[in-house]
């Protein structure tokens, strides 16, 4: 891989219910690049994201992030799988914040319990991230006390807490009104400008437009250039 090339998926194959959801999908993403994955509902876009960070095991092919690679043999506990997940953050469509923790606690959780960072260090980093995404004043609140836009920003801070090189986003604007979606896309564009690679599954053409993203369409298991 070149110095700029960060993520490479090669010939990914994934079968679900006897159907080839991914049928030889390949994708390359550089540092600071934004990629938008579009296509019809049920085409396997979210499955592709989950395969890119090892939440789903592929049936064939390989995902390489930096110097680490995973394939269909990867199992929980494998050092290579853990290394890929630490470099590839995931912003889920439903955000999945822990309801029993404060916003600050949510952002600290992985650095403390996965990366084994000291609590004071993790707390300082979490507060800085919450300030960066615009919800530092909500650090002591529970997720249920936040608006949808605030919850999403808190989820972004949590995803960034492990200092990933790539951030995967599943329909990042689907639950937001136009103004909040525009605010979010401005933040994501700023993050990409700082070198973070973004891969977003979306039905919203504004995502690609605002991020200057390279657009791919996933349909019938194949990935093609352009919005289709």
Given pLDDT bands bounded at 50, 70 and 90, which one contains residue 181?
A: confident
| Residue burial 104-141, b: 16+ Cβ < 10 Å; e: rest | bbbbbbbbbeeeebeeeebbebbbebbebbbbbebbeb
Joined together, the tokens standing for residue 160 give 């960034």
pLDDT > 90 in the chain, percent? 68
Mean pLDDT of the chain: 91
Model confidence at 201: pLDDT above 70:
yes
Residue 76, judged by CB atoms within 10 A of its CB (0-12, 13-18, 19+), counts as exposed
Residue 149: per-residue pLDDT: 85
Model confidence at 3: pLDDT above 60:
no
Residue 220: per-residue pLDDT: 93
Nearest to 155 by CA among 163, 173, 171, 143: 143
Question: What percentage of the chain's residues is helix, strand, coil (to nearest 5)?
Answer: 35, 30, 35
Nearest to 74 by CA among 54, 99, 53, 47: 54
**CATH code of the domain made up of 5-225:** 3.40.50.300
Instruction: Provide mean pLDDT across the span 128-146.
Output: 94
Instruction: Provide mean pLDDT across the span 29-37.
Output: 95
Model confidence at 2: pLDDT above 80:
no
pLDDT > 70 in the chain, percent? 97
| pLDDT one-digit tens code per residue, 48-102 | 999 999 999 999 999 999 899 999 998 888 999 999 998 999 988 877 899 999 9
Instruction: Provide mean pLDDT across the span 36-41.
Output: 93
| pLDDT one-digit tens code per residue, 142-180 | 999 999 889 988 999 999 999 899 999 999 888 788 888
Asked if 54 contacts 70 with a C-beta cutoff of 8 angstroms, the reply is yes
- Separation CA 179–CA 147 (nearest Å): 13
Overall size of the chain counted in residues: 228
Question: Is 0.85 topped by the overall pTM?
Answer: yes
Given pLDDT bands bounded at 50, 70 and 90, which one contains residue 5?
A: low
193 vs 93: which has the higher pLDDT: 193
Residue 212: per-residue pLDDT: 92
Residue 226: per-residue pLDDT: 72
- Separation CA 149–CA 153 (nearest Å): 6
């Amino acid at each position: 891989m070149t110095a700029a090339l960060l993520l490479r998926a090669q010939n990914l194959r994934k079968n679900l219910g006897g159907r080839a959801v991914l049928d030889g999908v390949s994708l390359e993403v550089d540092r600071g690049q934004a990629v938008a994955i579009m296509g019809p509902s049920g085409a396997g876009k979210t499955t592709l994201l989950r395969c890119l960070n090892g939440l789903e095991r592929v049936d064939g092919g390989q995902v390489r992030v930096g110097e680490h690679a995973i394939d269909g043999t990867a199992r929980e506990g494998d050092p290579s799988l853990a290394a890929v997940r630490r470099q590839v953050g995931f912003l889920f469509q439903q955000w999945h914040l822990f309801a029993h923790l404060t916003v600050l606690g949510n952002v600290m959780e992985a650095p403390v319990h996965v990366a084994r960072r000291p609590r004071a260090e993790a707390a300082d980093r979490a507060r800085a991230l919450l300030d960066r995404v615009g919800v530092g004043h909500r650090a002591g609140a529970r997720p249920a006390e936040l608006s949808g836009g605030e919850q999403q920003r808190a989820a972004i801070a949590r995803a960034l807490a492990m200092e990933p090189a790539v951030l995967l986003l599943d329909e990042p604007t689907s639950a937001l009104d136009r103004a909040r979606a525009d605010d979010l896309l401005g933040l994501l564009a700023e993050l990409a400008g700082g070198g973070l690679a973004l891969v977003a599954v979306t039905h919203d053409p504004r995502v690609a437009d605002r991020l200057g993203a390279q657009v791919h369409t996933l349909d019938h298991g194949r990935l093609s250039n352009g919005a289709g």
